[in-house]
Structure 1
Amino acid sequence: DNATRNLGKQETLGDLIQTKSEATNLLVRIEDAHWADQVILAHLAHLVRAVQSIPVLLILTSRITGDKLDQNWRAGTEGAPLMAIDLSPLDSSEASDLAQYFGDLNEDVISACVERSGGNPLFLEQLLRNADELTAGNIPGTIQGIVQARLDALQTIDQGAIQAASVLGQRFTRAAVEALLDSGIFDPDNLLKNVMIRPAGEDFHFAHAMIREGVYSSMLRPRRAELHRRAANWFEEDDLVLFAEHLDKAEERGAAKAYFVAANAETEANRYDLALRLVERALELDTEPDVRFDLTCLYGDLLRELGQVDESISAFKTALNDAEDDLQLCQANIG
């Protein structure tokens, strides 16, 4: 069953780390735990338990806002030793030291940037990277503001490219960006020079998740929808999940059916947790009655596979109420 599969994943990862640690001391770093779902959080709790008696230093990072490594999660570590370190803001001297790495800047602008950043190193870095465009009396007050200022300073072709990249996610390929652009050409040099993005092997990623979020939120809704529509076309043949998710964000009516197809594929691969998440999202969307019926039956099947029998029965009762012909009545009753 699904619980056994997840336990197998946890034990496999624990065994792998233990084997590696027998040859050398290990540092394992897992970033951005605030994005983790309940399954990943359970895996992390098991990993904390697994490394407590072997020479491994495990570091988990999380934003304070949306932090999921709370007391409920810690209970799942079963008392394994765990130390929380809250990073305090940079003090004025530390912030000034950081500014020295950004060349010969105007002292008044540096002071204004240091003061405005409030000790946030990301905010300060973004301010300093845009220092040539700022004056001491014109310093953005938020990370969103400085990202917008840096975006405005780019050439039009680079603005379009980084907006397309932001639709694709934190990490992206050159080919995917080019598929979203009218010109079909993506030259990353200026974005790399401005440290908006960084290389990741043959791919690229945003220098920080908040830069990507700032760029994405700077676009008007029709522009985002059009780019998501193009992204859906790009992923249609190769990634059913991303195809469905981009259709959803493009507000296309076919998104629910695409989620159904993707969820079926994930079910066949025994990835029931992901399939369930896809179906739950699809059921939130407006769609045709026959698609909703199929989604509800698949929802019932997945809940049963995940051991949630009562919830599964409830889903099939809903499907029974929604059935429009004898075949659907039969399918719902069998479920």
Structure 2
Amino acid sequence: MIVPQDGRLRLDRERLKQHRKRLGLSQEALAEHCFDRRLCVSIASIKRAESGKAVLYRTARHLAEIYDVEVEALSVDAEEVAAVSASDVEEMESARVLIQLHAVAADESALATWVQHFGGSLAEGGTALFGLPRAYRSDAQRGLLCAVTLVEQGVARGVYLQAGHWPTAASPLMVEERSGVWVERGVAVQLAERFVFDDEGGDWLRYRHPRHEAQEARFELVGRRLQLGQLQAILESTRAYQAGNLIYIRGVAGIGKTRLSAEFAEMAAAHADHHQAEVLDFGTRADEGPLMQLTRSLLQTSNEALNEALDDTINEGIGEAYLLARLSALRLPVDHAMLLRPLLGLAQPEDAQRLYAAMTPATRSQRLIQALRDILLARSIHRPQLLVVEDLHWADEALLGTLSGLLQETLEAPVIWLFTSRLEQDPLETRLRPQLPELPLTLIELPPLRPQEAEALVASFGTVPAEHAARCVSQAQGNPLFLTQLLLFHPHRSLPASLANLVQSKLDQLTDLDRRAMCIAAVMGQRFSLALLQEVLGQADYRPELPQRYSLVRPLEEGSYRFVHDLILQGIYEGIPKIQRDRLHLRLAELYGEAEPGLRARHLHRARSLEAPKAFLQAVAAEMARYRHEEALALLKQCWSIDYAPKDEYRLVLLQGQVAMATGRIQRRGSTSRRRVPTPGRSVTASPPTSG
């Protein structure tokens, strides 16, 4: 068996398929089976291996373990390896951005149990991974909750949480004497809205506690006066007419849906009871879902002692007495307890268990809606109720059915429902509106912040270096989440972990073909030609319909697209292994050829090709012939920056003088022209002459 220097090898596709079929598993089921065995094999890796493409040796070893064979039994013959082209541009398996948990002096058995509970997978050496076989936006939050639980339960003395490209990310230098939960800055920035950390300016922040609702919001709300006016009017209407309303806030990821809903909840606190629930994308049990969150909140009272009793009894699994007492206090039938116990994790009495088991699923669902409706109506007699359900785009059919039923049943009561959803996978038009045609609905679609609003948000952060602030405003393009993450993250060229995880979660929802297409498009640039993408991809009929649906790209005029945000492009681009990026840049340079000399030169430059200086000179000459002197100057500047290949300084100075003369800037170049002109044909790697 031959293992290349890059640690990849090709496996026999037919043998792999035979082994998988022997187990009776689809590719998706095999990935889940690997996940259950705590082996790091993604669906994309399985598809790559079975299509004859090179995979990491680690992937081959894990597949061999699943199939109970040696790696050699799965690998192709040496002759077949040699026959495969090394410049296969379809190799798009990028190193994945994962949340990685490292436990110090941990009990391995208990560690595995808790990691699995929070939806992670256990790797070697006390390391747990969140984001396999697919990345979710809740990976960082579940990783932190797992870390906190490990320390609280005494499973580990200290836990470190970081984000990085797996398996290449370096493990943190863990100190045995250091206890508690330590979170890498990039991850802490992502979680700062919900959790409190000690920040002493270093790369690692110590976790303290969850951020309570009563605490002041971390980031100032700017640029949403119109939307706040709408929300204030709905609150006043509900109080005046004692009738229900549905508010639906939607927008792209990070646009400020959660922040706006939190501001409204604070606004309504003096007039209404607030109940909060969140739909997570992965890793929650049925008794931890949004209905459970709403039920617990609805059963609470203004009596703090009773609420503490509720927390204690439910946590201990003996909250039966409290549940019955609350139903009695609300003057509701005791039979409702039978429907609420499963949500609260309480055991059914024997008689109730027999009756509950005899019900059909439809009957249970309808009875649950009636029980929750009665609690809501009983509470709304005294005060209006505000129920916020965030991230409805992750909701399943059962949850949407229950919420639809509750909306219909509380239409005539002072109950305000507020849902938030992303544009991608938004269920409003396809699954909610058909069931609620007569429901009064206020739809708020959040736009990006204006430049002056973004600058106001920057000002709320206190002292931020002007250059860093300007760069963040430009990069964020009006997205509040992107802006706050970039401001909190120390100035750095790479993308913060929170944004890299967002991009990874979007990519994982695509097909293998779409992922490869997005990687190629990211190398092409912010705006790309569909025809050229199809040629590099080798799929003449390809259309980026799925990436468009998930808000990665949007169409422009016929035959061209662009990424919806520069940071999404950057996240995809940084996730492509450098050797594959360079191959793609060289391939694109070849395709552009003499038709687009400027683009050809820039792609050669990105690949650090020795041909780049010559290509830049040709491109400058071509732009001058077209009287596009500003573009010629930009190309000259890029050529001067090359430090990896020799360049003809004589021709560069000559061309720079010609451009200056053509644009009337000859006086400004006076100091340059008086320099010692290099000998013709001399190639150097010097710095550019300074312009006066």
Q: TM-score, normalised by structure 2?
A: 0.28
2:336 aligned with 1:168, yes or no? no
What SS does the aligned partner of 1:236 have? helix
Is 1:251 matched with 2:608? yes
Q: Distance in 2 between matches of 1:224 and 1:148?
A: 17
* Bigger proportion of residues as helix: 1
SS, match of residue 678 in structure 2? helix
**Which of residues 505, 508, 519 in structure 2 aligns to 1:149?**
505
1:185 and 1:252 map into 2 onto residues whose CA distance is: 32
What amino acid does structure 2 have at the position aligned with 1:258?
A
State the distance in 2 between where 1:219 and 1:195 align.
20
Aligned residue number for residue 248 of structure 2: none
- Offset at residue 299 of structure 1 (A): 1.0
Q: For the residues of structure 2 that align with 1:157 and 1:254, how far apart are their CA atoms? A: 31
Distance (whole Å) between structure 2 residues aligned to residue 200 and residue 154 of structure 1: 21
The CA deviation string for residues 193-234 of structure 1, in whole angstroms up to 9 with x for no partner, is 323222223222222222112111221221211111111112
Amino acid at match of 1:93: S
1:102 has 2:393 as partner: yes
Distance (whole Å) between structure 2 residues aligned to residue 303 and residue 278 of structure 1: 14
Deviation at 1:122, TM superposition (A): 4.9
Which secondary structure state, in structure 2, belongs to the residue aligned with residue 157 of structure 1?
Answer: helix
Distance in structure 1 (CA, Å) of the matches to 2:584 and 2:518: 12
Decide which structure has greater strand share: 2
What is the CA distance between 1:178 and its match in structure 2? 2.2
CA contact (8 A) 1:228 1:250 kept: yes
Partner of 1:200: 556
Matches within 5 A, 1:1-335: 87=223, 91-93=259-261, 102=393, 104=395, 122=479, 142-181=498-537, 186-202=542-558, 203-286=560-643, 287-288=645-646, 291-318=648-675, 320-323=677-680
* In 2, Cα distance between equivalents of 1:324 and 1:204: 42
Q: Secondary structure at the match of 1:321?
A: coil
Structure 2 counterpart of 1:66 = none
Q: Which structure has the larger Rg over C-alpha atoms?
A: 2
Would the alpha carbon gap of residues 318 and 219 (structure 1) be closer, same or farther in structure 2, given more than 3 Å must change? Answer: farther
Over the aligned positions, Cα root-mean-square deviation in angstroms equals 3.8
In structure 1, how many angstroms separate the alpha carbons of the residues matched to 2:395 and 2:587?
43
1:185 to partner: Cα distance: 6.2
Q: Deviations over 1:159-189 (max 9, x none)?
A: 1110101111222122211232366663423
Could you tell me how far apart the structure 2 residues matched to 1:179 and 1:318 are?
47
CA distance in 2, matches of 1:319, 1:281: 22
Equivalent residue for 2:200? none
Percent of aligned positions with the same letter in both sequences?
25
Give the CA deviation at 1:318. Answer: 4.5
How many residue pairs match? The answer is 218
Given residue 576 of structure 2, which amino acid in structure 1 is its aligned partner? M
Distance of 2:517 and 2:637 partners within structure 1 = 32
Per mean C-alpha deviation after superposition, the further-off stretch among 174-183 and 316-325 is 316-325
In structure 1, how many angstroms separate the alpha carbons of the residues matched to 2:262 and 2:594?
A: 50
Please list every run of 5 or more consecutive structure 2 residues that lacks an aligned counterpart in the other structure. Answer: 1-221, 225-255, 264-277, 279-387, 401-418, 423-456, 458-475, 483-495, 683-692
3-state DSSP of counterpart to 1:142: helix
**CA distance in 2: counterparts of 1:219 and 1:142, whole angstroms:** 18
Pairwise CA distance, 1:148: 1.6
- Once residues 155 and 123 of structure 1 are traced to their aligned partners in structure 2, the CA distance between those partners, rounded to angstroms, is 29
TM-superposed CA distance for 1:124, in Å, is 7.2
Question: SS of the counterpart of 2:561?
Answer: strand
CA deviation string 1:124-152 (max 9, x = no partner): 79xxxxxxxxxxxxxx9622221122223
Q: In the alignment, is the contact (CA less than 8 A) between 1:179 and 1:230 conserved in 2? A: no
Contact conserved, 2:649 with 2:678, CA < 8 A, in 1?
A: no
Matched residue type, 2:536: L
SS in structure 1 of the partner of residue 608 of structure 2? coil
| Distance in structure 2 (CA, Å) of the matches to 1:124 and 1:288 | 43
Partners of 2:479 and 2:522 in 1: CA distance = 18
Corresponding residue SS for 2:562: strand
Amino acid at match of 2:656: Y
The amino acid across from 2:556 in the alignment is A
Q: Is the 8 A contact 1:266 1:272 kept in 2?
A: yes
CA offset digits 1:262-306 (Å, max 9, x no partner): 1112112222221111112112224445x3321121112222333
How has the CA–CA distance of structure 1 residues 87 and 255 changed in structure 2, closer, same or farther, with 3 Å as cutoff? farther
One-letter amino acid of the structure 2 residue matched with residue 102 of structure 1: H
Deviation at 1:310, TM superposition (A): 4.9
Residues of 2 paired with 1:103 and 1:149: CA distance? 13
Q: Is the 8 A contact 2:588 2:603 kept in 1?
A: yes
Distance 1:229 1:324, change over 3 A: closer
Cα shift at 1:244: 0.9
8 Å contact kept, 1:297–1:319: no
Cα deviation for residue 324 of structure 1 reads 5.8
- 1:280 and 1:141 map into 2 onto residues whose CA distance is 32
The 8 Å contact of residues 300 and 311 in structure 1, kept in 2 or not, is answered as no
Q: Greater RCO between the two (CA within 8 Å, min separation 6)?
A: 2
Deviation at 1:308, TM superposition (A): 3.4
Match of 1:28 in 2: none
CA distance change for structure 1 residues 311 and 227 in 2, over 3 Å: closer, same or farther?
same
Please give the alpha-carbon distance, in whole angstroms, between the structure 2 residues aligned to 1:102 and 1:298: 56
| Residues 239 and 98 (structure 1), Cα distance of their counterparts in 2 relative to 1, 3 Å cut | farther
Residue 235 to residue 319, structure 1, CA distance change in 2 (3 Å): farther
1:317/1:226 CA distance change after superposition, 3 Å: farther
C-alpha deviation, 1:313, in angstroms? 4.1
Q: What letter corresponds to residue 194 of structure 1 in structure 2?
A: Y
Describe the SS at the equivalent of 2:609: coil
